[in-house]
Structure 1
């Protein structure tokens, strides 16, 4: 009909717009926390934000107490639940309404399956096989006694708090499993943070924890199967199907997964996208199957984690792909759900608290007592080590909480009993670190030897286990053992260059006969000197340091210590260098938190009997890039500071990332200087890539006096035992302008107080530094006397001095000047470009206070921050600020 089209068009503009869903959101006055089952993402994001923020804030506080992150997550969940914030009117209704819990539960269970997969990845069966006897003893003792105590305690608990509809056998089984299980992931992190992984105690605990964890999950699967079964025969069927599925995964699927990893190149280059897809599908497929047969889904995910190949670090790489989302989002969600079900307000009477105390006491006694007695009387450890093993095995952590949540969801545990056990798990986890720190301090720890774990301990022979204190032996030119610290692969060329100088070349006897009489004496002296060192051959211990982060993969790398030693590229390159130059090099890896890196380096060198620690310090990349820029294209500042490794560290125009990285490394350097009880050498590479290829070296040493300069002098003589190394040593003394040259004046007490005040202030500020005692007149005179003796020893050697060969390659001069630092820099510029400077750190008993002259130098060449001066001393700061020399070696003599 006419007009139908127009009527239809007009009707479109008169439709009911109110039928459309409101999209204005917050701008339209909608409450963002209002739950909408068709669009729950808004409230879910609010919940996740609150959960993550709460757990992270608690984690920051508890980290100072060296507590694992799981405690922060559980505490955060308890605080957000009815125990604390749930008592605030409207909080639970707006943030955690009952309708939203299923959505949180779904996401949390997905994360729980992924977490159990990661737990399976952490477990390495080879650890158990290597230490089967001792670990089996400890693991069984740590399960049988706690299980028995848990079963006994379940009788009164069942009568007092559990509904009669729950079968006693089910409750008893869950109680026994909760008591007997050990939290392997948390235990592994505690062992790593306390630096116990390379001790005999750590190896046994790690092996026992792996076995304990596997048996615990099997018992949990059995418990769930019994609960879900209608009869005993059904439970048997469930158990048999579960065993068959496990065998199917462990045998054919495991080999198929290895085949896929090999064909996709995942073993060599990390997991490919296809391999990741296959693995994730397998994880959730296995979780689905174990869930539908009546066993919890987490057991299927756990078994898949066990079968992933460990070759080529594949398990670690897989963990790196998944761990961040699991640890940041999924696990806090799961523990918040636990907290929402935990109401400590239910523990409101004396009987309840009496049972709670009994639960905590028996749980600790069972684990601690069983493992301690087995370690002492069966394994043969002494009491200190046995009690440490018992303390570590009593750690509960998140594994028990997972068991408790499974029991709560199966209605086996009542909310009150659940809250009791959650408090017990928190308390025992919290106690682990303080107990171990008290019972097993560093001086009593028995480290793993090069040939393997040393289990031949003498009972209670604590004094024999104390590490010897290394002392300086460089003064007699016999320092032959060095610990070389490697942080990054860029450190390798510089440290190679330095280590190569430490190996003197033995001259041929044929040349001795053909040379003149005087030269022959020198060469025969050198040969005699080297022959005297045959029994004490040069040895280098390459220590690779890695920071232990919060990631699970970092803990796995710590556990896979032996694998890392073989696969780490930095150590492989350095070891190959040693083989090519006939220098014996042993390799070690230390993975600890950043705050403990410097202590770990000092402790490692002390325990291995090293004579000197060698540290590298790299120039920032922005400075290195100047070498690739034509001189005409460089700015004046870039030209004058192209070799200065500290430009990007403390200048206003530096790149922020480089400044941050270099400042962090400077804290490590100062920490080693402060905590080392043996000599330390800091190698500052000035950034010229051609310097490392030089076959010969010339050293320059400005000698001002003090213990560090005396060590520098000994070190130069030690290096000049190599015929390819020559040196210039200048003793600089300051003279007044009006008078002829005189010996340098002694510091006044006021000047020394200023120096020490800076040092103490640095230590108080939180950055580790060496704190020296007051230098009184007697100490000053003793130091001056030692300076004169050291100088005379090398400038006026005896005829039979073993250093004659080295001294023949050193030129000694003395110079009196009113500006010793300027004179030193002039001397360096007069030498060849690849000269290497050696200087003492001179933060104590320095003959001269160079503050005013150093200020003039920095005003002339560019100001460098005080952090450089505090780290390397005045003399080295002057060299670095000008950018002279190919490298600077800063040494500090042993302080204890």
Structure 2
């Protein structure tokens, strides 16, 4: 009885145990979380992905400084994680990349590879080939035939020394070697062309077209190779090729039309891809990949076809790329390259013979591409420099050759040794592309293409003009100091900056008549009654180019962006409503090159003044100012005190423009456009120096607008209070004496002039000038001030300058603390209205040094960020800290003698 009960209870207990959840091997159970579990491979997969992404990102940070494409970091990361480096650490491969987990990693990587080939298909625009067929066809053909022949020749000794003839046919090995030699990495090529700003050059257009044709031929040859390897006989291979050709025609002629109809019906062309269209596209992608895989051609060929047939209208291909690219580039591609690295063991290259063959592979691979494409380009009419640049670009291998090599390795055609030799070749040739092109084709020798086709109309850079070669660009002609500016470049980079640019542009209209003057004489109008030269505004739209395929696609379609960009469209409408003369331009470059692109555009357009916006980033109440509305907040509140956010990155860009613009620059800081129907009041504290003189000239020009008035105060530093001093002058004098020792020390430190900070951006700190240059500057200050403050036109003379000066009030003010005096006077002007404070940026050749007084202001109002001070200068920083409810216009004059 008891035995029966015990048996029954045991069976119940056993049943209960069977119903418990299986042990997941967690940390709490004391088991190794990296131990591979076939029933639950996710845990180890996450560890693998984390290790791979972190490794590639760290490498990319360093290689980015060398202007290398991201694929270099991914390939190097894969090699380091493989048996070449980390794999030699005891237990690393066993715990992180055990052999049992590789199939799961390979499955995800190959899914990502199909998505990547689909994106490559989206990038390829066959219209590029059609527009440049004559030039690109010759280069593409030479870039396939000659390298393929060299690869086939090199395959003979490689096959004899490193391949088992009983396992691999020479024909198959020769085909894979030839394809690996003849392929060009089109995606990497696009990124290099964009990074080096070659997309709008004749060289870039031809290389892009030839790269597309080269890759199409390469994928076709790869499909042929795979078909021959997978076929049991020549007849079977023929059937595979015919079926593949039929599927290609089916996709191009029928499925493409269905997909276009679906995109139109769902509104995807006009409004971006809908969920239904995305679903259909993904099904077509994997359906095509499945079909090409089951017939004996690799799945990636089918995915590539699916990308080609997506409609290009309305930026649909770009929108699709944007939805897929991040996951593919961040996760899937690094996984694929890690698999390549796990199969790459550079330690196998351990004999002189092997290294001799490796060097031969690298040399012949470069010679075939470089030599063939260079000769073809020279034959079509390019110069030797341009032809050699085309050859260097076409020799870029990148990830496409790695895909070919991985296909050969998985098919058993390549051994790990031969695979490692070719991986090293692909890595070296890709790495060498950017420095080689930069050396062979520097920016000042590049030919810009204004039209596409078999013949190009070239526009060369300014330095080309000096050598007599044709150029239609305008060069800057600097007017005499005081002449009004007529050609402006406005920077449009963010939508929130647009109102500021529209407001300052509105103040420059209507265009005043042009006047000239001789030094020491009365200004007068130009000869010819009623003749006016209207102001011209060039709107330069800046877009930061990220390392994304969609950005590369956008950069190659600048014409469409130029006409469809919302900011440019808004500004064009504003210009038409106000009768402004406006031209639009677009520049899409990496962040580090944004300021340089402004300088290039300015030199091309002949602009006399660049207007740059800077809107403080914090425009909402924070925990420190609860209950304070935006209307009561100073627009500069966000720029000081370290607990508030500020656009540090944008300040770096602005300082780069100050350094590289090559003309006068004005930085406008304001949170909202002021009322265009109301009267605008300007306030200028004039301390002296070229920047202040430019600011004074510009204030007078703005006052030609009947709705603009100005107060200009010449402020000088005096050691003792006078009747003109502001209240509290005695306290300010005492404070000045307290800081006298500090000022003397700072002047000693700044005795050596420095125009650049340690970060590489222009600084606003200048040391002592020579007595001669200082005297010249002071004389120029007096002449400029006297020309305007003492101007009194004849009774019968009605000049534009006279009208403008009637709306300007000139004052003289002396104070032991000039910045405090300027702030006090500005507060009086801003008591019942919103003003624009106009200041010079630097103290270059100015009389006074404000460093000590600025320190005193920081003690009174709080510190300002270093980057803000270096961006707006000492006087601008004082107004930032002063908390005056005003917009700020910071001006820097171009030194035509020093070029800074």
Does 2:698 align with 1:697?
Answer: no
- Alpha-carbon distance in structure 2 between the residues aligned to 1:447 and 1:554: 21
Could you report, residue by residue, the CA deviation over 1:625-682 in whole angstroms, capped at 9, with x for unpaired residues? 69xx9xxx9769x58994433423432442xxx43xx111111111211223211110
Partner of 2:634: 644
Partner of 2:338: 336
Of 406-415 and 818-827, more deviation after overlay is shown by 818-827
C-alpha deviation, 1:80, in angstroms: 1.6
Does 2:43 align with 1:42?
Answer: yes
Of 410-419 and 706-715, more deviation after overlay is shown by 410-419
Q: 1:243 aligns with which of 236, 242, 245?
A: 245
- Alpha-carbon distance in structure 2 between the residues aligned to 1:2 and 1:634: 80
- Alpha-carbon distance in structure 1 between the residues aligned to 2:419 and 2:583: 51
Could you report, residue by residue, the CA deviation over 1:269-301 in whole angstroms, capped at 9, with x for unpaired residues? 322222211111111110000001111100100
Q: 1:194 to 1:753 in 2, by over 3 A?
A: farther
Give SS of 1:622's match: coil
Is the contact between residue 142 and residue 393 of structure 1 (CA under 8 Å) also seen in structure 2?
Answer: yes
Q: 1:77 to 1:572 in 2, by over 3 A?
A: same
Q: 2:815 aligns with which of 798, 803, 817?
A: 817
Partner of 1:794: 788
Q: 1:808 to 1:526 in 2, by over 3 A?
A: farther
- Alpha-carbon distance in structure 2 between the residues aligned to 1:169 and 1:249: 30
Q: 1:372 to 1:474 in 2, by over 3 A?
A: farther
Partner of 1:76: 77
Q: 1:865 to 1:76 in 2, by over 3 A?
A: closer
Q: 1:667 aligns with which of 652, 660, 669?
A: 652
C-alpha deviation, 1:151, in angstroms: 2.1
Partner of 2:492: 486
Is the contact between residue 526 and residue 804 of structure 1 (CA under 8 Å) also seen in structure 2?
Answer: no
Is the contact between residue 872 and residue 890 of structure 2 (CA under 8 Å) also seen in structure 1?
Answer: yes
Q: 1:326 to 1:451 in 2, by over 3 A?
A: closer
Partner of 2:229: 227
Give SS of 1:732's match: strand
C-alpha deviation, 1:396, in angstroms: 0.6
Q: 2:215 aligns with which of 208, 213, 216?
A: 213
Q: How does 1:127-146 map to 2 (within 5 A)?
A: 127-146=128-147
C-alpha deviation, 1:892, in angstroms: 0.4
Partner of 1:190: 192
Question: How many residues get paired?
Answer: 862
Partner of 1:836: 836
- Alpha-carbon distance in structure 1 between the residues aligned to 2:17 and 2:495: 66
Q: 1:133 to 1:580 in 2, by over 3 A?
A: farther
- Alpha-carbon distance in structure 1 between the residues aligned to 2:679 and 2:303: 60
- Alpha-carbon distance in structure 2 between the residues aligned to 1:419 and 1:348: 12
- Alpha-carbon distance in structure 2 between the residues aligned to 1:253 and 1:540: 47
Partner of 2:583: 586
Is the contact between residue 494 and residue 692 of structure 1 (CA under 8 Å) also seen in structure 2?
Answer: no
C-alpha deviation, 1:193, in angstroms: 1.6
C-alpha deviation, 1:573, in angstroms: 0.8
Partner of 2:730: none
Q: 1:305 to 1:772 in 2, by over 3 A?
A: farther
Q: How does 1:610-759 map to 2 (within 5 A)?
A: 610-623=607-620, 638=628, 642-654=632-644, 658-659=645-646, 662-685=647-670, 687-689=671-673, 691-694=674-677, 696-737=679-720, 752=747, 754-755=749-750
Q: How does 1:277-296 map to 2 (within 5 A)?
A: 277-296=279-298
Is the contact between residue 673 and residue 769 of structure 1 (CA under 8 Å) also seen in structure 2?
Answer: no
Partner of 1:359: 361
C-alpha deviation, 1:723, in angstroms: 3.3
Q: 1:450 to 1:417 in 2, by over 3 A?
A: closer
- Alpha-carbon distance in structure 1 between the residues aligned to 2:765 and 2:374: 41
Could you report, residue by residue, the CA deviation over 1:685-710 in whole angstroms, capped at 9, with x for unpaired residues? 1x245x14335433222211001001
Is the contact between residue 105 and residue 335 of structure 2 (CA under 8 Å) also seen in structure 1?
Answer: yes
Partner of 1:548: 545
- Alpha-carbon distance in structure 1 between the residues aligned to 2:827 and 2:115: 62
C-alpha deviation, 1:360, in angstroms: 0.8
Q: 1:683 to 1:415 in 2, by over 3 A?
A: same
Does 2:505 align with 1:499?
Answer: yes
Does 2:533 align with 1:564?
Answer: no
Does 2:91 align with 1:90?
Answer: yes
Q: 1:413 to 1:62 in 2, by over 3 A?
A: same
Partner of 2:276: 274
Partner of 1:199: 201
Q: How does 1:363-374 map to 2 (within 5 A)?
A: 363-374=365-376
Could you report, residue by residue, the CA deviation over 1:453-504 in whole angstroms, capped at 9, with x for unpaired residues? 9544899968456988746437252532222111111111110111122233
Is the contact between residue 753 and residue 766 of structure 2 (CA under 8 Å) also seen in structure 1?
Answer: no
Give SS of 2:164's match: coil
Q: 1:529 to 1:700 in 2, by over 3 A?
A: farther
Is the contact between residue 537 and residue 580 of structure 2 (CA under 8 Å) also seen in structure 1?
Answer: yes
Is the contact between residue 471 and residue 678 of structure 1 (CA under 8 Å) also seen in structure 2?
Answer: no
C-alpha deviation, 1:366, in angstroms: 1.5
Is the contact between residue 182 and residue 218 of structure 2 (CA under 8 Å) also seen in structure 1?
Answer: yes
- Alpha-carbon distance in structure 2 between the residues aligned to 1:835 and 1:645: 12
- Alpha-carbon distance in structure 1 between the residues aligned to 2:598 and 2:87: 47
Partner of 1:31: 32
C-alpha deviation, 1:404, in angstroms: 0.9
- Alpha-carbon distance in structure 1 between the residues aligned to 2:876 and 2:138: 57
Give SS of 2:539's match: strand
- Alpha-carbon distance in structure 1 between the residues aligned to 2:771 and 2:356: 66
Q: 1:458 to 1:559 in 2, by over 3 A?
A: closer
- Alpha-carbon distance in structure 2 between the residues aligned to 1:582 and 1:487: 23
C-alpha deviation, 1:427, in angstroms: 0.3
Is the contact between residue 861 and residue 882 of structure 1 (CA under 8 Å) also seen in structure 2?
Answer: yes
C-alpha deviation, 1:529, in angstroms: 8.9
Q: How does 1:455-494 map to 2 (within 5 A)?
A: 455-456=457-458, 463-464=467-468, 470=476, 472-473=478-479, 475-494=481-500
Task: Give the TM-score normalised by structure 2.
Answer: 0.88
- Alpha-carbon distance in structure 1 between the residues aligned to 2:50 and 2:112: 17
- Alpha-carbon distance in structure 2 between the residues aligned to 1:481 and 1:721: 16
Partner of 2:318: 316
- Alpha-carbon distance in structure 2 between the residues aligned to 1:856 and 1:227: 81
Is the contact between residue 200 and residue 455 of structure 1 (CA under 8 Å) also seen in structure 2?
Answer: no
- Alpha-carbon distance in structure 2 between the residues aligned to 1:307 and 1:191: 25
C-alpha deviation, 1:448, in angstroms: 4.2
Q: 1:682 to 1:276 in 2, by over 3 A?
A: same
C-alpha deviation, 1:619, in angstroms: 2.3
C-alpha deviation, 1:120, in angstroms: 0.9
Q: 1:692 to 1:178 in 2, by over 3 A?
A: farther
- Alpha-carbon distance in structure 2 between the residues aligned to 1:124 and 1:608: 31
Is the contact between residue 192 and residue 558 of structure 1 (CA under 8 Å) also seen in structure 2?
Answer: yes
- Alpha-carbon distance in structure 2 between the residues aligned to 1:499 and 1:577: 10
- Alpha-carbon distance in structure 1 between the residues aligned to 2:25 and 2:410: 39
Is the contact between residue 675 and residue 770 of structure 1 (CA under 8 Å) also seen in structure 2?
Answer: no
Could you report, residue by residue, the CA deviation over 1:170-208 in whole angstroms, capped at 9, with x for unpaired residues? 222222221111111111111122222233322222222
- Alpha-carbon distance in structure 1 between the residues aligned to 2:339 and 2:544: 32
What is the RMSD computed on CA atoms of the aligned residues? 3.5
Q: 1:882 to 1:24 in 2, by over 3 A?
A: same
Task: Give the TM-score normalised by structure 1.
Answer: 0.89
Structure 2: where are the runs of 5+ without partners? 514-521, 726-735
Partner of 1:512: none
